[in-house]
């Protein structure tokens, strides 16, 4: 699997384009905005976008989803259904954060813990990780030992839980019982900021020790 991280929106949200080296099939994870920038990157890499994957329903992670799904004629996978209230509420989130208008939408496929998503020959396990939002999921590729964790965990920090239906206890439980057991050597791309590993965070993250 290969990937390129492209920060989008004024929140510098880490949108990732991931692809299968052999088939060139690609997925866009958390396209929060700047659809044109993402389209250009896909074109430059000569990839075939086959899916859009969403970790959770916050605007800065999903704002360009509908536009890109229509443009590439692909289906939207994730998040888990508990985030429906956020996607239903997208026009309001846009006003709240001063973003360009995004219409409300539903993914084609809600995802649940233990399911898998395939992109070319690349397989992601879906890990249900509520807390930052009630329907947050994480995508893990165990072969390449890399996870796309949205706003669950950051380098030296954790996700906020002061948004609607956030839950601090659930978040800590998700990190400690769902993510860390995947292994210290798993690298992760957070929704914002630099990459890290589960091992580094398990040992050093001030919110978790």
The residue ranges that bind Zn ion (CB under 5 A) are 58, 151
Distance CA 101, CA 33 (A): 11
Could you give phi then psi for residue 129, rounded to 5 degrees? Answer: -135, 65
Tell me how far, at minimum, the Cβ of 59 lies from Zn ion, in Å.
8
| Comparison of 151 and 201: residue with beta carbon closer to Zn ion | 151
Tell me how far, at minimum, the Cβ of 202 lies from Zn ion, in Å.
22
* Residue 68 host element (H or E): helix 65-72
Given the DSSP bridges, would you call strands 25-29 and 48-53 parallel, antiparallel or unpaired?
Answer: parallel
Tell me how far, at minimum, the Cβ of 13 lies from Zn ion, in Å.
8
Tell me how far, at minimum, the Cβ of 194 lies from Zn ion, in Å.
17
Could you give phi then psi for residue 19, rounded to 5 degrees? Answer: -150, 160
| Comparison of 19 and 99: residue with beta carbon closer to Zn ion | 99
Half-sphere exposure of 36 (CA within 13 A, CB side): 0
| Comparison of 51 and 58: residue with beta carbon closer to Zn ion | 58
| Comparison of 120 and 131: residue with beta carbon closer to Zn ion | 131
Residue nearest to Zn ion (CB): 58
Tell me how far, at minimum, the Cβ of 190 lies from Zn ion, in Å.
11
What is the CB neighbour count within 10 angstroms for residue 99? 19
SS3 123: strand
| Comparison of 25 and 30: residue with beta carbon closer to Zn ion | 30
């Amino acid at each position: 699997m290969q990937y390129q991280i492209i920060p989008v929106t004024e929140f510098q949200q880490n949108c990732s384009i991931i692809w299968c080296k052999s088939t060139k099939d690609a997925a866009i994870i958390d396209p929060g905005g700047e659809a044109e920038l993402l389209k250009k990157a896909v074109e430059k890499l000569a990839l075939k976008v086959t899916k859009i994957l969403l970790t959770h329903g916050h605007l800065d992670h999903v704002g360009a989803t509908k536009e890109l799904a229509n443009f590439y004629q692909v289906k939207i996978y994730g998040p888990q259904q508990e985030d429906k209230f956020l996607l239903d509420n997208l026009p309001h989130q846009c006003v709240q954060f001063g973003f360009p208008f995004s219409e409300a939408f539903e993914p084609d496929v809600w995802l649940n813990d233990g399911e898998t998503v395939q992109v070319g020959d690349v397989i992601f396990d879906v890990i249900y990780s509520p807390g930052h939002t009630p329907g947050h999921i994480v995508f893990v590729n165990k072969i390449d030992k890399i996870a796309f964790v949205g706003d669950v965990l950051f380098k030296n920090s954790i996700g906020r839980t002061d948004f609607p239906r956030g839950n601090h206890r659930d978040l800590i439980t998700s990190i400690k019982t769902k993510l860390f057991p995947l292994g210290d050597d798993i690298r992760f791309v957070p929704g914002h900021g630099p990459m890290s590993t589960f091992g580094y965070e398990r040992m050093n993250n001030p919110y978790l020790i």
